[in-house]
Every structure is written in structure tokens, then in C-alpha cells.
Structure 1
Amino acid sequence: METTLEVTRLSTGKSQIMRFGRQQHVSDIYWTADDQLVVSRAAMEPLKARPVSQGELYTTDIHAKNQDVLFGFVPDNQTKRGKRKDRGWSVIAKVLHDEPGMALVDFTCWDCGEEPGTTIFRVNTLTGERKEIERSSGLASYQFDNSGEPRFRTTWDENDEPVLAYRKNKGGAWEPLPKSIAGRMLYSARFAPDGNTVYALVTDALEPAQAYKIDLQAGTRTKLAGDPDVAVSGFLYSGLDGIPFAVTYDAAKPALQYIDPNSEWAKLHAGLMAAFPGYMVSFTGFSRDGNKVLFSTWSDRDLGSYYIYDRTTRQVQKIIDYKPWLKPESMAQTRPIEFTNRGGQKIFGFYTAKGDGPKPMVVMAHGGPFGIYDRWGFDEYVQFLASRGYAVLQVNYRGSGGRGEEFQRSGWQGWGTKIQDDITDGVRWAIANKLADPARICTFGGSFGGYTALIQPILNPGMYKCGIGYVGVYDLPLMRKTDKNQGISKRSLRFLDRTLGTDMDALAKVSPVQRASEIQVPVLLAHGRNDKTADFNQFKVMEAALKAQGKSVESFVVDGEGHGFVDPKNRAEFYRRIEAFLGKYIGQGAAPAGN
């Protein structure tokens, strides 16, 4: 299995297929010139089965000629020395549209000590020539003006707190960023052509990010948009290097706000939204002259399609449907929900089902648990379950992203307590609102969701009829020990100390493997034997503990798979096993409501 890149000339329909190595994948495609592309070498992300960058960059022209490694490690071949010896992670930080072929690359060394620095290179993607333009002594994140000069820098102190600096003027020295501009974080910065006006997402403390227009010389800012409960998730831009005309929100009900409703771009976007009712519209690319706009449409029932809009002729041309064999009209509606947890906090989530009335329900917790969150949109697992007659409940519990750091931190050290309380309260809300058949509820999830699938029946005896743990973590002390033995960074270990805790006795008390005797429901466990994230030993100890207690447990272990299944045959088999398992315990053959 591999990913190929297809470049099609729309005027003629002729295509060029590109390969970047046998059994290789690519992602993160950038046009650095009208006839030049840069891609990231990628591996399949198991839980989503899509390519994600592995930190190596390749360059090619549109005719699949002159392909070369831009950043990466090329081993020596007998007497021929490999061209590149980059031991690190590289990513395109910015394409310099006014200088065709030129781009900025952010590079972090893999083996340069515990806290390797970040280096920014100015790179000619046509020739491979590179020049270092910025270097930090430790990990750093940079944001650039339109000329490619780093103007904002974020580093982190010994307590992992952000430290912000900026260049007030082009070519100036780094200075501490004034609190009048941003107190804690500044990101998604877009400079206006004057090099002084900046549009960015900002936080002053731990609140959800708000959108601001910033005057660097004056050291002032003007709020453009924001919500007290939900962070601004991003900007929509007016052309290739244009300023924002709208902001988006996605941690609750999907929404957008036009910050410049009189902009021709806002009017274009609003017109496209009206032309595609029930869909969100995202601008994803622009021609250099701004005349052609690449946009996507997507929804809860449709993975989406890509179109080109010609601003001169006002014509729309469809490019491709993402998965045309999936028919939106046969999919279930995903409904944003909101409830109040037992502590009085507002919790958001999603409920997906076909039709009305109480249904057998699957409670599906997202992974993470911290910083990750479920969004409105097409979800393969959710739609599969809904197609089999089940309702699906997703809860963005305390600790989830999209609502600011305070909300995220409110879930820290709450794997088996606060987070689970929110999920439980969501189930009770669904039952009270006659959305779930209380006699037919099961849990299912991957990674942290797999942990949830087994801890929920322990914490709520009688609420569930079954649980499905997929590449889950079931023994928290074992996880802490495994992480240390695998040599993860000190920064990551500090994060685990803060968010999970260091009291091994307390962690054992909220570990399903330690409380297997309390699991009174049938369990299905699925795991990849090569899993290095939720170590395969997690599966082994959980299965053994259940069997030792005489519990009903079905297992699906796959050789060659890691933290989730990538091979389509394995994914299909997993779906078949989920369907059979759920059908046995909460499907049509299960006990009816009230029994």
C-alpha cells in the first residue's frame, strides 16, 4: 500500500502520477512555484488511516522530474555518499509566494541532546540550496512576516510555561512581547503588507483564544471576534497572502463569524455557503493572482468535495469528491448537544443517529485525553455505528481542547474521576432526553477511549451492557513505567506528571486491570501487536486479568499493526467483529427495554 500524488491540468484533463518510493506515503503538499511541489514523506496514522508527516521533505516538478530529498537522511550506498544527512524533523514553515521556489523550513534535530534547538532555513526548493536564518538554543516556535523574517518567537521555560518575544521592527533585535499585545500565547499570525499590522489568535491567561488585530508599533490591539466558552479555531483569508475576513469555531456547534462582512471575500464565501446548504465551506488554496479559489465543502454526512471557483467568470468547477461511494443521503445526522455536568459546568458534545426516539446507544470517547476534542463532521466509526441502527454519543469532557487551557487543565489528573463523571453525566442526559434506550448502552473507544470503555462499566454498574477497548491503556502504573523505559523526553514526562499524576497507588485504583473483578459486562479487546503508544503489554495484562476472573472477553490481535489498524483488510474485519459483538448485546437480538 502506498500513496501516489496526481497532478491534473484542469484545462486539458491530462494527469501526471507521481511516486516517491515503493510502499511510501506522502502528505502536506505545498506549491512552492507554479511548476514545483514539496511533499512530506509520511506514514499511515492508524486510528484515522491517513498519511501523516514523518519529518522528511521531498521536492519535485509537476512532470515528476528532478525528484530529490530536500530534508532527510539518505544513507550511504557502498562508495556513494548519501546526499542528505539530516537527523531531525523538518516541516515547511512558510512558502515565500513573492519568490517562486523559495520556502522556509523549520528543522529540529533528533539527537542533539535533551532539549535540541530549532533552526529555520531559507531553502531554494528548485536547487536544494539552503541558508540558516534563525537558530534557538532550545525548542522554539516562530511566526513570520510576508518577507519571511521571523517576527514572533515562543520558547518555554523550565516549568514549560511559554515565553513570548518579538521583533518590533524588521531587522530588529528580539524583545519581550508586551502584555498589551498578548499575555500568554499568540499564534496563527498573519501580517498585513505594511509589516506592522498583525492578525492573530491571542490568550492572556488560560481563557479560550480570541481574534485580534495588532499594531506592533503602538503596542495595542483591537478585538475582532471571540467567545467566552469556545476558542476561535482559525481564520479564513482573503487570497494567497491576504488578511482574514472571518473566523471559525468548532469545539461546539460549528460556526463562523465574518469580521469584515463588506469584504468581497466574505460576500463570496457567504454566497458559496448559500449555494451548498447544510455544508461548511473552507477556502483551501488560491492562484497567485487571486482569480482562482480552491474550496472544499464538507458536513457531518459527507467527507466532502473540492471545487475551483473562477472569480472572473463566476463559474464553479468540481474537482473531486473525497469518497464518492459514500452517499450523504444515507448517512446519519450529527447533532451538537450541550448539557450541564454535576459540578455546574457547561459540557459540549455530539449525538448521531438515524431517526428519532430512544435507541441502543454506543458511548464513544475520544483519545488524548488532553487537548484532543471531537468536532462536527464526518466520522467513519460514528457513521458505521449509526448505519447499524445505533445512536452514538461523543462528549467533549473536561480536559478536551477547543475551549482554552483552563477547561483543559480542569481535567488534569482526572482520567478515572472528573473526565468519567462528565461522560456519565452525558449518558444520563441522553437517557433523560429519550435519546438512548437505557437497557441497550455500550462503550467503545480507541487509546484513551479504550481505557474509558472499560472504566465506565466499573464506575457505573448496570449502566452498560458491553465494552469495546481498542488499542487502549488499562494499567496506568504500567503505562508510566513503559513511557520511562521507552525514553520519551523529560518535557513529555513532566507533562504526564502534571496531567496524570505520580501517585502509583491512586493510578492503580483507577486502572481497569486492577479492578477486573468489577467488570460485569462482556468485553471485546482489539490491539496491534506492534503498538508502541499503548504498549501491547496493556492488552496482555487486561486480557489475562479478565480471564483470571472468569469474565467474558473476546480478543482481536493483529500482527504488524500498531496504535490502530491501517490495513483495509484488518479494518474491515474489526468492523465485522464490532457489528457482531454489539448485535449480540445491544442489537435486535438483545433483551428489549425494560427487561
Structure 2
Amino acid sequence: MKATVSSWDSATTFFCTPLETMFRLSPNGQWLSYLHTDPDRHHIGLSRIDEHLNLEPQYDYPLRDDEYVLDVVWKTDEILIVTTMVCGAQHKQLHMIDITANRFTDLSGELAICELACMLPARPDEILTYDEDEQGLRVVSHLNLRTQERVTLLICQPDDTQLFFDWAGQLRLVLSASDSGYQIKKPIPQEGRFEVVGICPYDASFTPIFTDVDPDHDFFALTNIERDSLSLARVNIAQAMTIHWIETDADKDMTGITGVDPNGDIEGVVFATTPQQYHFFNADTDRLYQRIKARIGLPLCTMLAKSADGERFVFAGASDVQPEISYLYDATVDLLVVLGSAFPQLDPTTLATTQFYTVPSFDGLRIECYLTIPEVQTPRPLILFPHAGPWGHDRWGFNAIVQYFCAAGFAVLQMNFRGSTGSGRQFIQASIGHWEDDVQTDIEIALKHALQHDAIDSQHIHGFGISFGGYSVLMQLIRHAIPFTNAVIINAPSDMAYLLENMPKDWQPIQEAFYHLVHDPRIPTGQQALQQASPLHHCHRIHCPLMIVHSRQDRIVPVGQSETLAATMQAQNQSVTLHVIDDEGHEILKPQSLRRVMQQSLDFLLQPLLIQNS
């Protein structure tokens, strides 16, 4: 087998070339912000939009080469708030762009951690932030954007996992970890205390959405506390918490809302279907969305932004072979123009299509599978690529890692095993205490089903996984139900007891949730189960070459886990290679680092195939 392009050139194409994405409209619809990159860093660009939707570039703000842009939000028509992640340490930082002064300001100052808590839309010069003070405590601060003056409003308690504010900055709800789940607490300001109004079990979800500032009014929430699917509801907490469901036809989890209209109503919701499905409550908005989706001509269509007057919009379209393309639309003149593409250098006709199907697991649970196969005549070696999390999910659409491997001649299998989000609460519950067995059986069954495909070379099975995906690859190698040719794991845990007992400080409020959802190391049976679930203690069963990649600054899964695993395997004369990345954290964010890791991974996975062909 031969790669269609060199691993270095291909890695550059997929992970280190200029792109334009994250387009955002100013409230007045006259400005457009966007993220663009060069090989070394991210830039925030700003363009003025004329009456014909022509863009006039005005400003360009380069970020530091160790910063990765997470989000850009317009606060006013002149001010943007930029949230970044510092590579390596992976702490969030805030910046402000002031168009009138042409100024880019670091809002974090000397703080190691600074996150946006509330935008305060009614106060143009103020925001609320989550900061870490000198004692390492998490605090909520009031920040004046003009003077940079900070005033601490409250100190978060150790068990507080999330604080929820309304748009005026009032603290409305707090979620705190407890033995029985997340306590939902409302403040009683006149008494200086909090009252527990409900419990969200650890296998459920509860995200409030406040559209007004009256604490006595109902509010919206995305939750599945009293049902299987994550759904939209109206919630009242005047006395005991009561939930009134807003029914829709879809039977999948909701993944979010599309926005809130000027009247304080939810405009629409998004479902975790394949492909992703939108449901708008307003008929005019739904007709507009359907019309633009038809004009774009792509199965995935997202409304990304709109102006305050509802006249200008940013849409995005994509498919399994088409990376995201962003469009600007003006409803007053019915004009739609292309803004930019996430991967402008890729030709969709050369990419591999993704097949979606489901297979039954051992207990009848349906496992969603995504199989991407290059269009070639001979059977292709297969890469098993389980997702990270496990509380996340793969979805149908363009995936740069998948297409990178397909460009080299591999087929790629992804699946949503039990514990993945998007398929309901019972799907999550089926994974509790079963990371090492039932979850792995789902993956094994999906893999065996894919090997029946005529286009798959069943003699050459490879593994590739990141974080929990890497853990699952290790468990598949250990189970040895299917022989693997070789495998690559990245920032993967191998000692589960150590992982749960040594969480980073900012993860400790959710430590109790992990004890409930995985195994509890505080009790003997939990310790025994965690040992059974730890690849480190069973790595002698691995019979194929393994490449381990780990970031030295990983705070979630410390690099010592991979160093210990590699040393143990080397002492047993097993074939193992360890690569340590010095300047990255649990997520590999720098384009140069990602390119290097993916190139090393592809070279390693190709090696036995190239030797065989030679």
C-alpha cells in the first residue's frame, strides 16, 4: 500500500494551512469579524460590510503563537470579546477589541485564568468574569472594560460546578456536587443563603436559559431530569421545581438552541440526528432557514449569526466531503455571498464519503457507526477511531483526521458506543461502571460488523485514539478479540485509579460525578474494578506495535501515565514507542504540533504495510 501524498505534505494540507472561519456579525450588521490563520498563529480580522455585501478589510489582530481562539462575541457595535486558550497550560484568557480606538487589550492582566461569566448586554462597558485569585480560589468579578478595574462579587464554593447568571448579571442558579447528584440551588439574597430546589442526577443534564431578569418568572432549560431525551422545558422554582416540557417531534437529544428572539422566546432547537436537524418555533424563521439551505445545497446548514434588526445573517454549510463554508445573507435584497472556507485548499471530489448505519450490540442497544472508505478498487486497511469523552459523540460531517487517513489509503471506522451523548439518558446509564467491558463490547461489535464490508482488508486493522478514545484502543488491544496490526494512542489514561484520585484542581468539583459514573476508588470493590479497568495492569496482553504520544503539560491525564505504561511494556520486551510533546496540554492546539503528531501517527501506521509491499 502507498500513501497518495507524503505524510508531511498531507499533514500540512489538513492541519496547517490558512483558513477562514468563526464569522460573527456585529449587532448593527455593518461589521464582520472572523478568525484566520497562518502556519504560526491565529488572527482576528475585521471587515466593514457595504450595501452590496462587499467586505472592506479594516483591521487585523494577531494573537500570541501560544494562544488558540475559542470564541469571539460582539458586546456592542464597537467592542468584541475574544476568548482564547493558552496552549500547554490550557487556561482560558480574555481579550477586548475596540474598533473605535483600533485597540486590542488583554483583559486577563496578571491572572492565570480569566473566563467570561456574563456579557451584561445592557451595560456597554462592563462584563462579569470567572477569575482565579492569589489564593487559587475561583471568584466572580465585575470588570470595567474601560478602566480595567476589577471588583470581586463572590467566591465560588469548592463544590460549585456551574453558576448561571441572567443577562443583567444576577446570579440565578448554582449547581453543586453532592452524594446524590448536582444540587440545583437558588440564591435567597435577603437571607444571604442558597436554597436547594432540585437534584440533577449525575447521569442527567440541566442547563438553564434565562430570557428575562425577574427571578420569580419561569425560565427555559435544556434537561432530561424527568425523561430520557435531552429536551427543552419551562421551569418554575417558586416553590419546588416543576418542569413543563415543550414538545417536538424528534426523539433524539437536543444539542442546543439557535438563539433567543427580541421577545425573549427561544427561536429554535438543534437535534443530534444524522444529519443534524433544526426545529424553528417561528414559521418565518423556518421558511428562511429552509430557503437558504436549499440555495446552499449542502445537507448540513447552520444559522451562525444575525444582526439585531434581523436583516443580515451568517450561515454555514457542510457535508461529509465539504468542509464548512460560511455565507453572508441580506434579506432586504435576497443576496447570498460566500465569505470563506475552513479548508479552501481541499477539493471535495477527492475526499471519501461517510456511510452512516446502526448495529445492535449484545443487549439490543443500537450503536451508531460512521464508516469512511476511499474510492479505490482494492480492499482498504481499516483504522478504528473511537471518540474521546466518553461523554461526547461522533457525528456525520467533515472530519479532518478521518479524511487525512483516507487520503493515505485507509478506511476509518467511528462509532457512538454506550455512554456517548446525543442518544438519551438510558444510553448514558448503560455505560455506568462499564467502561472496561460493555463499552468495549460495543466497539468490538461495531468493528466486527465493519470487517464484513467487501472494501475492507480484514487482515490489516489499526487503532488510533485520543484521550478516552486512546483508552478504548488500549482495551481493544488487550481484549485481543480481533488482531491489530499496530496502534497509536494520544494523551490516553492507562491507570484509572490514579486518574480519578488525582484530578486537577479545576476538575475536583466534578470528581464525585466520576466516582458515580465510573467506579468509586474510596471503596475496596471500586479499587478492584478500577484495576480491572486499567490497561497498565494488563498491558502484557498487547501483541502488536504501539506508539504512545503524550503532552508534557497535560494536567488531566499526566504524562507519567504514558511514561509508566511505556516503561512497563519495554520491561516486558514489547514493541512500544513513546513521543512526548513539550509545549502542549491535554488538547493539542497548535497547528504545528498537530501536524507533527499526525505525520508521526500516519508514518507509524503505514510502516508495516509499506514493509509488506516492499
2:266 pairs with 1:244: yes
1:237–1:492 Cα change, 3 Å: closer
Query: 2: CA distance between counterparts of 1:380 and 1:566?
Result: 14
Q: TM-score, normalised by structure 2?
A: 0.79
- Structure 1 residue 427: Cα displacement: 0.8
1:38 maps to what in 2?
A: 81
**Matching residue of 1:542:** 565
Partner SS, residue 9 of structure 1: strand
CA distance in 1, matches of 2:94, 2:116: 7
Following the alignment from structure 1 to structure 2, what is the Cα–Cα distance between the partners of residues 120 and 261?
Answer: 37
Distance 1:184 1:563, change over 3 A: closer
Q: 1:90 aligns to what?
A: 115
Pair 1:455–1:110, CA change in 2 (3 A): farther
Query: Aligned pair 1:572/2:614, yes or no?
Result: no
Q: Distance in 2 between matches of 1:585 and 1:495?
A: 42
Higher relative contact order (CA 8 A, sep 6+): 2
Q: Indicate conservation of the 8 Å contact 1:363/1:394, yes or no.
A: yes
Any residues of structure 2 matched to 1:67-466 within 5 Å, and which?
Answer: 67-70=104-107, 72-74=108-110, 89-96=114-121, 98-103=122-127, 105-107=128-130, 109=132, 119=140, 121=142, 123-128=143-148, 139=160, 141-145=162-166, 147-151=168-172, 153-159=173-179, 161-165=181-185, 177=197, 186-187=206-207, 189=209, 191=211, 196=217, 198-205=219-226, 207-213=228-234, 221-225=244-248, 227-228=250-251, 230-237=252-259, 243-250=265-272, 252-260=273-281, 262=283, 264-355=284-375, 359-369=380-390, 371-434=391-454, 436-466=456-486
Cα distance, 1:560–1:88 mapped onto 2, change above 3 Å: closer
One-letter code aligned to 2:573: G
Shift of 1:145: 4.8
Classify 1:523/1:198 alpha carbon distance in 2 versus 1 (closer, same or farther; 3 Å): same
Q: Which residue in the other structure is 1:523 paired with?
A: 546
Check conservation: 2:68, 2:589, Cα contact below 8 A.
no
Q: Quote how far apart the aligned CAs of 1:305 are.
A: 2.0
* Counterpart contact for 1:154–1:162, Cα < 8 Å: no
Provide closer, same or farther for how the CA distance between residues 470 and 19 of structure 1 changes in structure 2, counting only shifts above 3 A.
Answer: closer
Shift of the 537–204 alpha-carbon distance from structure 1 to 2, 3 Å rule, reads closer
Distance in 2 separating the partners of 1:136 and 1:206: 30
Alignment: residue pair count: 558
Q: Deviations over 1:112-135 (max 9, x none)?
A: 67xx576364x5534446677777
Q: 2:13 — aligned with what?
A: none
CA distance in structure 2 between the partners assigned to 1:402 and 1:188 by the alignment:
18
2:49 to 10, 35, 41: 10
Name the CA distance, whole Å, in 2 between partners of 1:569 and 1:117. Answer: 32
Counterpart-to-counterpart distance in 1, 2:539 and 2:132: 43
Matched residue of 1:429: which SS?
helix
Percent identity between the two aligned chains: 21
Q: Offset of 1:3 from its aligned partner?
A: 2.4
Contact 1:397–1:422 under 8 Å retained in 2 = yes
Query: C-alpha separation between the residues in 2 aligned to 1:217 and 1:567?
Result: 48
Corresponding residue number in structure 2 for 1:49 = none
**How far 1:363 sits from its partner (Å)?**
0.6
Aligned residue type for 1:8:
S
CA distance, structure 2, for counterparts of residue 150 and residue 131 of structure 1: 16
Moved more, 579-588 or 191-200: 191-200
Does structure 1 residue 495 correspond to structure 2 residue 534?
A: no
Deviation, structure 1 residue 573: 3.8
Counterpart CA distance in 2 for 1:562 and 1:215 is 41
Change (3 A) 1:19 1:255: closer
Contact 1:415-1:500 at 8 Å conserved across structures: no
Matching residue within 80, 87, 93 for 1:56: 93
Q: Counterpart amino acid of 1:209? A: L
Kindly tell me: are residues 31 and 426 of structure 1, through their superposed partners in 2, closer, same or farther at Cα, counting changes over 3 Å?
same
> Could you state the TM-score of these two structures normalised by the residue count of structure 1?
0.81
8 Å CA contact 2:275–2:299 kept in 1: the answer is no
2:269 and 2:485 map into 1 onto residues whose CA distance is 42
- Shift of the 428–131 alpha-carbon distance from structure 1 to 2, 3 Å rule, reads same
Inter-CA distance 41–257: structure 2 relative to 1 (3 Å threshold): closer
Task: State whether residues 177 and 510 of structure 2, in contact with CA within 8 Å, keep that contact through their aligned partners in structure 1.
Answer: no
Once residues 102 and 477 of structure 1 are traced to their aligned partners in structure 2, the CA distance between those partners, rounded to angstroms, is 44
**What is the rounded CA distance, in whole Å, between the counterparts of 2:69 and 2:414 in structure 1?**
31
Write out aligned runs for 1:551-590 (5 A).
Answer: 551-563=574-586, 565-585=588-608, 589=612
Query: Structure 1 residues 167, 293: CA separation in 2 closer, same or farther (over 3 Å shift)?
Result: farther
Letter in 1 for 2:414: Q
CA distance in structure 2 between the aligned counterparts of 1:315 and 1:375, rounded to whole angstroms = 31
Deviation for aligned residue 1:271: 0.7
Partner of 1:28: 71
Aligned mates of 1:220, 1:572 — CA distance in 2: 48
CA drift at 1:343: 1.6
Cα distance in 2 for residues equivalent to 1:287 and 1:390? 44
The residue that corresponds to 1:81 in the other structure is none
Task: Tell me the alpha carbon deviations over residues 279-322 of structure 1, each in whole angstroms, 9 at most, x when there is no partner.
Answer: 32222222222211122223322331222211111111222222
Offset of residue 269 of structure 1: 0.6
Does the 8 Å CA contact 1:232/1:248 hold for their aligned counterparts? yes
| Cα distance in 2 between the residues matched to 1:379 and 1:155 | 34
- Judged with a 3 Å threshold, the aligned counterparts in structure 2 of structure 1 residues 268 and 242 are, in CA distance, closer, same or farther, namely farther
Distance in 2 separating the partners of 1:88 and 1:574: 27
Mind listing any 5+ residue stretches in structure 2 that lack a counterpart? 1-39
User: Which residue in 1 is equivalent to 2:11?
Assistant: none
Q: CA deviation at 1:565?
A: 4.3
Cα deviation for residue 199 of structure 1 reads: 4.0
Partner Cα distance (2:208, 2:580) in 1: 41
After superposition, the Cα gap between the structure-2 partners of 1:108 and 1:217, relative to the gap in structure 1 and judged at 3 Å, is: same
Corresponding letter in the other structure for 2:539: A
* Cα shift readout 1:194-242 (whole Å, capped 9, x = no counterpart): 99564432323462211235688996734232654x3111122365776
Work out the CA distance in 2 between the residues paired with 1:541 and 1:352: 34
SS at match of 1:355: coil
- Cα distance, 1:35 vs. partner? 0.9
Q: Is the 8 A contact 2:88 2:585 kept in 1?
A: no
SS in 2 for 1:449: helix
CA–CA distance in structure 2, aligned partners of residues 495 and 193 of structure 1: 31
Counterpart-to-counterpart distance in 1, 2:440 and 2:530: 14
SS at 2:247 equivalent: strand
Distance 1:66 1:14, change over 3 A: closer
Counterpart Cα distance in 1 of 2:231 and 2:88: 31
Residue from 490, 493, 496 that aligns with 1:473 = 493
RMSD: 3.8
- Cα distance 1:324–1:142, how it changes in 2: closer, same or farther (>3 A)? same
Question: Which stretch has the larger CA shift, 2-11 or 544-553?
Answer: 544-553
